[in-house]
Amino acid sequence: MKAWPRGAERRVTGRVAAVVVHGLLLGLVLALLTACGGSADAGGTTAAATVADETGPAPPAAPDTPPRRAVLVMGDSLSAAYNLAAEQGWVALLDARLAREGRPWRMVNASISGETSAGGAARIEAALAEHRPGLVLIELGANDGLRGLPLEATRANLETMVRAAKAAGAGVLVIGMRLPPNYGPEYTEAFFALFGEVARAEGVAYLPFLLEPIAFEESAFQPDRLHPTAEAQPRIAEHVWAALEPLLDPAPTAGAP
């Protein structure tokens, strides 16, 4: 074997050492880069958590709007939007007005075409229990008169409804009606008077005649000459509103849901 030149072994050894040191330094740099990357990730997570903490918890949801209290309408076809779309009737028009003006009330129409005062008296308790109204509008009796029923029976039924509503803590508006003159002056005048008599005796609000704004306008009625047209409904709604609005403020507290 040929001998190494003088100094060659030292130079080789130095190179090997340099390679080893370079490898160690490279490994250390890679390890540091890996560690820094992990720290950056952790730091990023921590920063995100910090930002989240600084923003604080989400604000509480706004409280639900209190439910609107019910104005229960116990009526017949004159309140049930007979032969019209429901939204065209005076009850629906008043409901839209209450909502538009931000009133804490809503109309609940429990009217039935053909209903008599006896029918209303029979179902008033169930309607009160279901809807728990703050106000009750009683528009019944017209079909009693058209059938020529005894006035004392109509009076007794109206009293039953008024007293049931009052016992439930609701305010009451009695809405009266007139009959055509062909029923004779004695019966028609006594019929008209009984609504006011019941209202005064029971100490509740009273609107004498539902159809007063349109009673003498033939064009305001459908061909049967009994039921108002859609075009007449806003005038009826305005007429009822004049009697209803004073009962809305201050709102009754009894019967609240």
Residue 210 near residue 175 (C-beta atoms within 8 A) = yes
Of these residues, 76, 77, 79, 239, which one is catalytic?
A: 77
Of these residues, 53, 64, 219, 224, which one is catalytic?
A: 224
State both tokens at 90: 């005076």
Going by C-alpha positions, the residue among 172, 173, 176, 174 that lies closest to residue 211 is: 176
State both tokens at 144: 């009693």
User: Beta-strand (E) ranges in the chain?
Assistant: 69-75, 105-109, 135-139, 171-175, 205-207
Q: What phi, psi does 155 have (nearest 5°)? A: -60, -45
* Three-state SS at 37: helix
Distance CA 114, CA 230 (A): 19
Q: Dihedral of CA 121/125/247/69: which sign?
A: negative
State both tokens at 41: 């990730």
Of these residues, 95, 111, 227, 239, which one is catalytic?
A: 227
Residue 224 falls in the annotated catalytic set: yes
As annotated, the active-site residues are 77, 224, 227
